[in-house]
Amino acid sequence: MGFDLILQNIARYIQLNKTETDFFISLLRSKTLKKGEYLLRHGDICKVENFIIKGCLRVYTIDENGFEHIVMFGIENWWVSDLYSFLTQMPADYLIDALEDSEILQITKENLDRLYEKVPKFERFFRIILQNAYIAQQNRINQNLSSTAEQRYLDFIKKYPQLEQRLSQKQVAAYLGITPVFLSMLRRKLVKK
Amino acid sequence: MGFDLILQNIARYIQLNKTETDFFISLLRSKTLKKGEYLLRHGDICKVENFIIKGCLRVYTIDENGFEHIVMFGIENWWVSDLYSFLTQMPADYLIDALEDSEILQITKENLDRLYEKVPKFERFFRIILQNAYIAQQNRINQNLSSTAEQRYLDFIKKYPQLEQRLSQKQVAAYLGITPVFLSMLRRKLVKK
DNA sequence: TTTAAAAATTAAACTAGTTTAATAAATTAT
DNA sequence: ATAATTTATTAAACTAGTTTAATTTTTAAA
């Protein structure tokens, strides 16, 4: 039916009975995105939390000079949103769009709040998801502070080998915090070795 | 009693009755730290989550060249730990020490797990705490990707004016990801304006 | 209160990463 | 299939931030 992946994702941390599972699924809406299509624009209210079934998205900003900076990629089995905007229902700081044709499942804030009320186990689930995301982000901050661009690139392709295959170098550079020109130079230098 | 601050901190997001409050407090241990004292060393197992009642701590790494990189400061009303090590009980990636004489309240992993079981509302509490921390970290990542050191410094003193007063420039530089020498140059340039 | 140690300042030489611009290669659209 | 657009490459000039080192100021220790 297409809910297998998300149920599996949730089963990693909490066990749901049939009623709970059905209730949860009833709160989801599915959506497809063409490559390049926006899920969220800067200034929009982020109305939903998104679970990716298929495809690849990016969460990013565009600075005053028009340069893009990617705070996260999302692929199959990941949750993405502008969490600040989602929680506060204030205008979003980030943009989200699809880097590939994608399929997602969405849950609105109202429905997620209802889910927390009716199935409090989901508090635990999202606590754990957030713990993992927090740890990953902290490590990324540390790496941005302590490593050269070359080391960050090497760590990136080591940590996400499959993801790197799916991304253009421009996107990788926007994630690493360097220019595409410099990434190209780094790669040349690395293959020469 | 010294528990006022932490109870207030928790009351922001969940309501506890007398029994729950007493149970929670029974799980806490208090500890004082002298300036410079370690709470956690790289490679230790992080056995406790720490709530700061008074003082200032830092969570950081030391790179192969001996330079320190600060991933977070903690002051009154903040929670600090090496979350990865705390959750997995594996050796810590980070060091934590006191930048001022400090007082903290500690809860062990076993006790926190018991707390989640007996008072599931705490799942919600820590979910919300983590949401806030996640959002703050994501904004910091974005800023590291998109702003110059000068802009990051200006944003830092604007966002944490009270904190900046308590820190040496060396610590601020280690948080911003620049050398103390360069921070000194920036400050001179800024006062001249 | 004096001494020692750490933090901050300044300047000059240096380098990691940027910018600009031109060309080639790969994707996308018609 | 062709044209148009985007992405990647390369090189040269440039700049934000580093490094080293010497001096001053502040903080901590005895």
Q: Which residue has the tokens 């050398």?
A: B179
For testing contact with chain A, the best of B67, B109, B125, B134 (most A CBs within 10 A): B134
Q: Sheet of A56-62: strands edge to edge?
A: A38-40, A95-98, A56-62, A68-75
- Judge residue B181's burial from the number of C-beta atoms within 10 Å of its C-beta, 0-12 exposed, 13-18 middle, 19 or more buried: exposed
Q: Where are the beta strands (DSSP E) in chain B?
A: 29-33, 38-40, 48-54, 56-62, 68-75, 79-80, 95-98, 102-108
Averaged confidence pLDDT in chain B: 96
| pLDDT over 90 (residue B192) | no
Q: How far is the CA of A76 from the C1' of C3 (A)?
A: 64
Residue with token string 């969220």: A40
Per-residue pLDDT of A113-167, as tens digits, reads 999 999 999 999 999 999 999 999 999 999 999 999 999 999 999 999 999 999 9
Residue-level pLDDT at A2? 83
The answer to whether residues A145 and A169 touch, using CB atoms and an 8 Å cutoff, is no
**Which nucleotide across the nucleic acid strands is nearest to B168, CA versus C1'?**
C7
Is A64 in CB contact (< 8 Å) with chain B? no
Tokens 């007082």 belong to B103
Facing B130 at nearest CB: one of A69, A130, A177: A130
* A176 close to A164: Cβ distance less than 8 angstroms: no
> Is residue A140 less than 8 Å (CB to CB) from chain B?
yes
| Contact B129/A at CB under 8 A | no
- What is the spatial distance between Cα B126 and Cα B3, in angstroms, rounded to a whole number? 18
For residue B104, list its beta bridge partners: B31, B52
Tell me if A138 and B72 make a contact (CB, 8 A cut-off): yes
Which DSSP symbol is given to A92? P
Token pair for B111: 């006790």
CB A129: neighbour CB atoms within 10 A? 19
- Interchain pair A87, B131: CB under 8 A: yes
Strands of the B102-108 sheet, one edge to the other: B29-33, B102-108, B48-54, B79-80
Q: pLDDT digit string (tens) for A60-77?
A: 999 999 999 999 999 999
The pair of structure tokens assigned to A190 is 């690395």
Is the distance from CB of A83 to CB of B131 less than 8 angstroms? Answer: yes
Considering only CA atoms, which of B48, B44, B10, B12 is closest in space to residue B27? B48
pLDDT mean over B57-85: 96
- With a CB-CB cutoff of 8 Å, which residues 1-60 of chain B face chain A? none
Contacts of A133 in chain B (CB under 8 A): 134
Tell if the CB–CB gap between A71 and B146 is shorter than 8 Å.
no
What integer pLDDT is reported at residue A192 of this predicted model?
A: 75
Q: Report how far residue B38's alpha carbon sits from residue B57's, in angstroms, rounded to the nearest whole number.
A: 9
Q: Which CATH architecture has domain B4-120?
A: Sandwich (2.60)
| Dihedral sign computed on CA atoms, order B163, B169, B174, B179 | positive
Q: What is the pLDDT of residues B74-110, one digit of tens each?
A: 999 999 999 999 999 999 999 999 999 999 999 999 9
Contact A162, A143 (CB under 8 A): no
Q: Decide: B154 and B164 in contact? Cβ < 8 Å.
A: no
Q: Strand D: which positions are within 7 A of a protein CB?
A: 7-12, 16-21, 28
Domains of chain A: which residue ranges?
Answer: 4-120
Phi, psi of B51 (to 5 degrees): -110, 130
Closest nt to A191 (CA→C1')? D9
Residue B157 CB contacts under 8 Å (≥ 6 apart), including other chains: B164
Say how far apart CA A105 and CA A51 lie, in whole Å. 5
Please give the average per-residue pLDDT across B50-69, as a whole number: 96
Query: In this predicted model, what pLDDT tens digit does every residue of B134-188 receive, in sequence order?
Result: 999 999 999 999 999 999 999 999 999 999 999 999 999 999 999 999 999 999 9
* Six-digit token string for A147: 């490593």
Cα–Cα distance list, A91 to A42, A72, A84, A171, B134 (Å): 7, 19, 9, 25, 18
